[in-house]
Structure 1
Amino acid sequence: MNSDGADLPVNADGLKFALRRMSGGVSVITTGQGEERTGATVTSATALSVEPPCMLVSLNRSCSTWPAVARFGHFCVNILGHAHEVLASQFAGLGGLTGADRYRGAKWTQLISGAPVLQGAAAAIDCELEEAIERHSHVIVLGRVVGICIGNGGSLVYRDGRYFAFAE
């Protein structure tokens, strides 16, 4: 590396440190129904293709979200807005909330798949599970888009362990 930076070991900590330098849009991946709802905060949701409409999400295999997506066959990519920082923290597991308790303090609905959809999200992309590719510690989840809901306002961004409001 050049004189402006330091070399890091090629391991999990080094990679996490490097990736924290990259800003990412914050989404909550939701799945399940009723008391069997769960979800996770991610910066790894993106479109795989627009024709046909398909989303790609990377989920840790050890979290509760992946088994629920596999069981229910659906998920929603809820793109968080400026006002959703607390919700992002809840779904990241801060405060010890798990499962359906992570849904507190927000209003939820459904579109087509049955996955929970955040009312007031910057956008929500409702998906049915199309394929899952297990690699190392994560699962690459591919979802066929079956519904889209657009809200108002800018999106929430994550960088260096902090949330930022992305101005329009």
Structure 2
Amino acid sequence: MSAALLIIDMQVGLFHGPEKPHDGERVLANIRQLIHHARLQHVPIYAVRHTGPAGSPIAAGSPFWQLLPELELDAESDHVFDKSRPNAFHDTDLAQQLKNRHVENLYLVGMKTQFCVDATCRVAADLGFKPLLVADAHTCMDTPALPAQAIIEHHNATLGGAFARLINSADVSF
């Protein structure tokens, strides 16, 4: 089975903005380790960034819109694309690219757990991919209703089984 790593919205403005992501540095370290392993095993890496409307902090081309430089993505070999909806498949060619590469196992990491990670995970399953949600490599911020840790735990429990297989970054072997 072919695999791919999908990094969702690990952008400067979301990660280094006024609200800090829960356990962000650990999550970033886990994602960087997954990128390293993916490269060693020649697993394709897809990185998507959310594009806000003109004038927003994450409008196309703005400094906050950029993917984190710490990811050390390679424009020559990694697939970077943009989206404007939570679901990374909506109005993008992601599904077709994955199908062209015969990808079945799609490892999902990034931000924000309750929005883009959730939506993309669910749609990946609907499209026939086998999503693997890396439980310790996605994050979000506290909300007025719930702390981030509760949101992450809830989504791991909700998505795990019905929509994705849960896996920890240390157990990923692609």
Structure number with higher helix proportion: 2
Please identify the structure whose Cα radius of gyration is greater: 1
TM-score, with normalisation over the residues of structure 1? 0.25
Structure number with higher strand proportion: 1
TM-score, with normalisation over the residues of structure 2? 0.25
